[in-house]
Amino acid sequence: MAVTLGQVAQQMAIPASTTLYTQAVSMQGANAVQVSFVILTLGGSSGLTPTVEGSNDLENWSNAAVCSAIASAGYQIPVISSGAFTAIAWQYVRLKLAAGSGGTIITSAIISTAAL
């Protein structure tokens, strides 16, 4: 089982009520991903809703897996691991990161891929 690890966001600032996307990661024949996050909320409580998206051409993206929303209040720094998602049928994956209506979110994210 080959495993690759890629940091796709490092101290990415996501303003309230905004959606941003990370760089794409090649699956290189893998069919499973695990996503890990560290988030910090600035200026009140907010949340982050991450979605794993998949693409075969880096232009057309589809939802591959929706992660649980991550809530953060004040200046907490929760470390979140959303678990593994299998049966990923695309050549590339990326994260769609949607911030809630509270304060700005600062996040770091890692995508691990594996052939299971």
Res 19: pLDDT: 95
CA distance 95 to 54: 9
60: alpha, beta or left, given left = phi > 0 and alpha = psi -120 to 50? beta
* pLDDT confidence tier of residue 79, bands split at 50, 70 and 90: very low
Res 96: pLDDT: 95
- What phi, psi does 67 have (nearest 5°)? -80, 160
User: Where do the structural domains in the chain lie, given as residue ranges?
Assistant: 3-114
* pLDDT confidence tier of residue 78, bands split at 50, 70 and 90: low
Residues near 93 by beta carbon (within 8 Å), at least 6 away in sequence: 24, 25, 27, 33, 52, 53, 54, 55, 64, 111, 113
Res 105: pLDDT: 85
Residues 52, 64, 100, 80, CA torsion sign: negative
Mean pLDDT estimate for the chain? 84
Token pair 């089982």 is found at: 1
Q: Mean pLDDT across the stretch 7-35?
A: 88
Res 23: pLDDT: 92
pLDDT at 74 over 80: no
Residues near 32 by beta carbon (within 8 Å), at least 6 away in sequence: 84, 85, 86, 87, 88, 113, 114, 115, 116
Res 18: pLDDT: 93
What pTM did the predictor assign?
0.86
Q: Which fold has domain 3-114?
A: Jelly Rolls (2.60.120)
The share of the chain scoring above pLDDT 90, in percent, equals: 38
